[in-house]
Structure 1
């Protein structure tokens, strides 16, 4: 009986360790056989080489392997400085380094949201979700950045260093800057100040080390032409992509994008405020993460890794059926079954549009559901206070 209990408790390290072992073996075999692996990690490595060689990070990357697409480096200069560490490794082992971090990152991102009993199964099932397996396959940093945000927001509850990690993460990928607003809404003013100071500090450091690239990034490269050309692709599940797929470019589309962005941000922060007052800071964190996915111009399907803690939260709250349905939806089939690329998304039928925008639609439904539930709870409290007063 005691052995059985210990086995149940040790399932998490078995899942994490098993995944890390598999990824390490894949990286080694692919390296030895000189097989292409990790297109995005190859871009990170090439950006690091550009820094080391004194080349412009935001010009065509000369260190990309022959098999890689000629993708641009789209991250801020501070990220390029960090990626210089990858120049010491072959391309496949750079992928392996990021893949090794995937399972521990999933664990740290899930732990505050999931019941301990469900954690091993949720960890194992997470690898079937498209944002996760696509992040791993591409050699992306999404899981690591999400885990860093969760650790800073939830796990470092009593640390005087809270906020600094988010600031550094935001200097690697700008979207986490939205958590500064989150911190202000929940009245964690000191944490918000530390976040902003950390972001400005490391960004200034990058400007000193890479002045030319910094000026180029903040004046032009931040508005990447590659993103502009692909914003309507089905793989982009942001609101701006939805508009690009359904409306012609022009003033009307811009107005719709901006108006929705403002309304979404305002409603999301109101929800964060209400959820924080109700003592549900985990749900509030998920709301902010969801808002960032909606209002970001580019939210590739591999950016949607926040679905993992969201599923864990739903299971912990007893909504297992909803959690399973969402997990099935996020396995990637919705993007695979509809026509995509070359602008064919503009010719979708109604059914194809519903399936092809499924990630976005599910998030919007979740937001409306949360608003309705809070409204019902408010009405109930008002009614109860009226009865008490009577």
Structure 2
């Protein structure tokens, strides 16, 4: 017997498609007329350079790409993908990666809606279209597509994994694969353990080890360098900018360094802040899971990982897409005075993340978020005024507010009723 699902109005299908075409079309026009200022494929160039270095037997972790001298920072196993990618021209590779990334974003939103209990119909497709259209005008996605990043693919691996029933023997493999490609998603393994899903956590750990060993077999020298200590050196990620206080590092460490005038005091304050955020975020994620709110738990765990990571560039914040879906669902399900609060939080998230088309000196209008207009580079962030600090830390403030609202929502039971947990619910089709 299949679990009862929630349907959405069929008119959302064509309406959502029209909204996506309008948003994506306007974004594409800006990209085409930006003179290369919007899509530069900077990070994609690093991936391709790493793949090319591996193909030619050069030291992958010694490369420095472009004027910014960007190093390769990903685990050796990712070279399995980056080697063939290095054989494609930059422009074609950027189109390929971004087209696949947009498809992965759509799959992420679709699966998140399934986790929230919506059945597969035209309305669900329409909401997926609409969220994807909005996303291309949010700063994390503008940066993601501009740089040719891969975070959307890692997010999809995690979402696809958590959308599975707990009795699937392979549940956890996607999380393990994502953690093997980038260490930050490894926090979801701890989340599985804390929610009593030991088998899935074991599968995730096994997948991580298997992929890492594959990387060691195929790239032994690179593996010795990376796992011998390079993966612990966060300065490799920030040396091309003004350090961990760079405005686009929207982690708690970035906040602490900017607020307390440098790494001396910033790093000392960041560690207890990160520990507190880790405990609070995981506690909320576990509580949400026990209430049957798996999609909310997933979003809380993801934002916890982003906050406590030493470096979380804004393009790591692609988890905003499933977060907006969860918030929109909360608006639909809440009652009385809680509904305006949920709606305000949803609108606030969009406003904080939105990339407004702004002109620069001798530059055409480009989509830029709140952070893009603040003084940056060369330590300018350490000299911010109070007003600039308030604007520059809005990402973190928005997530901390989300944590507070989620805590009140879960503890006080503001939702219309708990869902069935994935482990106990009857089979459903995602």
TM-score between the two structures when normalised by the length of structure 1: 0.85
Deviation at 1:171, TM superposition (A): 1.1
1:121 to 130, 134, 151: 130
Displacement of 1:11 after TM fit? 6.5
1:337–1:36: structure 2 CA closer, same or farther, 3 Å change rule?
Answer: closer
Partner of 1:267: 280
User: Could you list the per-position Cα deviations for residues 213-268 of structure 1 after superposition, in whole angstroms to 9, with x for gaps in the alignment?
Assistant: 11111233221434344210001000001111122456654342221222211111
Higher helix share: 1
CA distances 1:270-294 after superposition (whole Å, capped 9, x unpaired)? 1122111111011000110010110
The corresponding residue for 1:177 is 186
Answering whether residue 360 of structure 2 is matched by residue 351 of structure 1, we say no
The Cα offsets for residues 322-370 of structure 1, whole Å up to 9 and x where unpaired, read as: 3222112102432023211111111111111010111011111111222
CA–CA distance in structure 2, aligned partners of residues 212 and 27 of structure 1? 39
Question: 3-state DSSP class of the match of 2:228?
Answer: helix
Work out which of the residue numbers 208, 212, 224 in structure 1 matches 2:221: 212
Q: What residue number does 2:5 align with?
A: none
Give the whole-Å Cα distance in 2 for the aligned partners of 1:130 and 1:27.
Answer: 14
Give structure 1 stretches of 5+ with no counterpart.
382-390
Partner of 2:146: 137
* 2: CA distance, partners of 1:29 / 1:129: 19
Verify: 1:58 aligned to 2:61, yes or no: yes
Q: Tell me if the contact between 1:275 and 1:283 (Cα under 8 Å) persists in the aligned partners.
A: yes
> Aligned partners of 2:293, 2:397: CA distance in 1, in Å?
24
Equivalent residues of 2:76, 2:226 under 8 A apart: yes
Distance 1:78 1:29 in 2: 37
Residue 103 (structure 1) shift: 1.9
**Aligned in 2, Cα 1:28/1:197: closer, same or farther, shift over 3 Å?**
farther
Q: Report the Cα distance in structure 2 between the residues aligned to 1:113 and 1:179, rounded to whole angstroms.
A: 16
Take 2:112 and 2:319, find their aligned partners in 1: how far apart are those partners? 11
Q: Distance in 2 between matches of 1:325 and 1:12?
A: 21
2 CA distance for matches of 1:18 and 1:349? 38
Mapped pair 1:287 → 2:300: yes
Whole-Å separation in 2 of the counterparts to 1:365 and 1:321:
11
Name 1:232's counterpart in structure 2: 245
Task: Indicate the RMSD between aligned Cα atoms, in angstroms.
Answer: 3.2
* Structure-1 separation of matches of 2:82 and 2:33: 23
Matched, 1:92 2:91: yes
How many pairs does the alignment contain?
A: 368
Per chain length, whose mean CA-contact separation is higher, i.e. which structure has more relative contact order (CA < 8 Å, sep 6+)? Answer: 2
1:369 to 1:125, Cα distance in 2 relative to 1, 3 A: same
* 2:172 aligned with 1:149: no
Report matched runs for 1:152-171 at 5 Å.
152-155=161-164, 159-171=168-180
Of 181, 197, 205 in structure 2, the residue corresponding to residue 188 of structure 1 is: 197
Distance 2:383 2:96 in 1: 41
- Counterpart in 2 of 1:362? 398
State how far apart, in whole Å, the 2-side matches of 1:363 and 1:301 are: 13
Aligned-pair CA distance for 1:69 = 4.1
Q: Deviations over 1:188-223 (max 9, x none)?
A: 111100111111111111112222211111233221
In structure 2, the residue matched to 1:328 is: 351
- Distance between the aligned counterparts of 2:88 and 2:263, measured in 1? 46
Cα distance in 2, alignment partners of residues 27 and 97 from structure 1: 15
TM-score (norm 2): 0.77
Q: Does the CA contact (< 8 Å) of 1:268 and 1:287 recur in 2?
A: yes
Distance in 2, Cα, partners of 1:276 & 1:179:
13
Q: Please tell me whether the aligned partners of residues 237 and 357 of structure 1 are also in contact (alpha carbons under 8 angstroms).
A: yes
Distance 1:249 1:234, change over 3 A: closer
Kept in 2: contact 1:113–1:316 (CA 8 A)? no
8 Å CA contact retained: 1:16, 1:104:
no
1:134-190 alpha-carbon deviations (Å, 9 max, x no partner): 101110001111111101111566532111121111111110000001111121111
Task: Please name the residue that 1:104 is paired with.
Answer: 103
Match of 1:388 in 2: none
Matches of 2:108 and 2:81, distance apart in 1:
22
> Structure 1 pair 374/57, CA: closer, same or farther in 2 (3 Å)?
same
Residue 377 of structure 2 is matched in structure 1 by 341
Deviation per CA, 1:69-114, whole angstroms, max 9, x where unpaired? 4311011111123211202211111111211112211112112434
For residues 367 and 29 of structure 1, do their structure 2 counterparts lie closer, same or farther at Cα, with a shift above 3 Å needed? closer
1:385 counterpart residue number: none
